[in-house]
């Protein structure tokens, strides 16, 4: 007898390279979330008309009256959030403390802040961008130490007014792939996944 966890390991690790159904389900739910931000299909239009797909999307709790599919999408949000990164545009959709835009993790997480009562979670990145499309260094210095200030200053701001967007952190081009999402949900590193 061999455990299912062992069978689902990559072949290089002694498994058969099978994937758990829960990981596949999570990957396809992540794909639907990706479409909500990057697709202009009829399905996306209908979902956006019916549900709150906006800057507060990731903080929305599912309601009892909402569809099963929508509840599944929202419940999968924590995994999706682990591997997206915000690309700064206007900064109006990006939470300064809680969203990943300067690194692979949020500022709150990198600073080890777990008690959100200690920070103003309503701050958005646009509060720290000047009219000249530059970082407002004096404001930032009042909130973060030098290493984190440098991390923020290294994040580019576009010269024209464009909306913020998300990119998939597990691909070189920033586009979503179901394969990378499956291995993420499976808890494996892509370098160990079968080709």
Q: Name the most confidently modeled range: 39-53, 125-139, 179-193.
A: 125-139
Is residue 193's pLDDT more than 50? no
Q: pLDDT tens, 113-150?
A: 888 888 888 899 999 999 999 999 999 998 888 999 99
Backbone dihedral region for residue 174 (phi beyond 0: left; psi -120 to 50: alpha; all else: beta): left
Residue that the structure tokens 């808890």 belong to: 187
Given a contact cutoff of 8 angstroms between Cβ atoms, the answer to whether 188 and 15 are in contact is: no
Q: pLDDT tens, 71-95?
A: 898 888 877 877 888 889 998 888 8
Contacts of 31 by beta carbon, 8 Å cutoff, 6+ apart: 176, 178, 181
Q: Looking at per-residue confidence, does 177 or 94 come out higher?
A: 94
pLDDT of residue 189: 46
Is residue 166's pLDDT more than 90? no
């Amino acid at each position: 007898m061999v455990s299912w966890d062992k069978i689902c390991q990559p072949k290089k690790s002694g498994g058969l390279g099978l994937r758990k159904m829960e990981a596949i389900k999570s990957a396809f739910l992540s794909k639907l979330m990706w479409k909500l931000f990057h697709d202009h299909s009829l399905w996306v239009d209908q979902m956006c008309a019916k549900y709150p797909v906006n800057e507060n999307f990731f903080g929305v709790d599912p309601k009892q009256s909402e569809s099963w599919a929508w509840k599944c999408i929202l419940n999968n949000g924590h995994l999706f959030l682990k591997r997206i990164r915000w690309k700064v545009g206007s900064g109006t959709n990006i939470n300064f403390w809680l969203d990943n835009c300067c690194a692979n993790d949020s500022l709150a997480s990198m600073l080890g802040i777990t008690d959100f009562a200690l920070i103003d979670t309503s701050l958005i990145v646009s509060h720290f961008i000047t009219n000249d499309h530059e970082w407002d260094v004096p404001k930032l210095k009042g909130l973060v130490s030098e290493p984190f200030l440098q991390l923020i200053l290294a994040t580019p701001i576009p010269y024209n007014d464009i909306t913020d967007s998300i990119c998939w952190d597990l691909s070189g081009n920033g586009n979503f792939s179901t394969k990378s999402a499956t291995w993420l949900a499976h808890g494996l590193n892509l370098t160990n996944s079968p080709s």
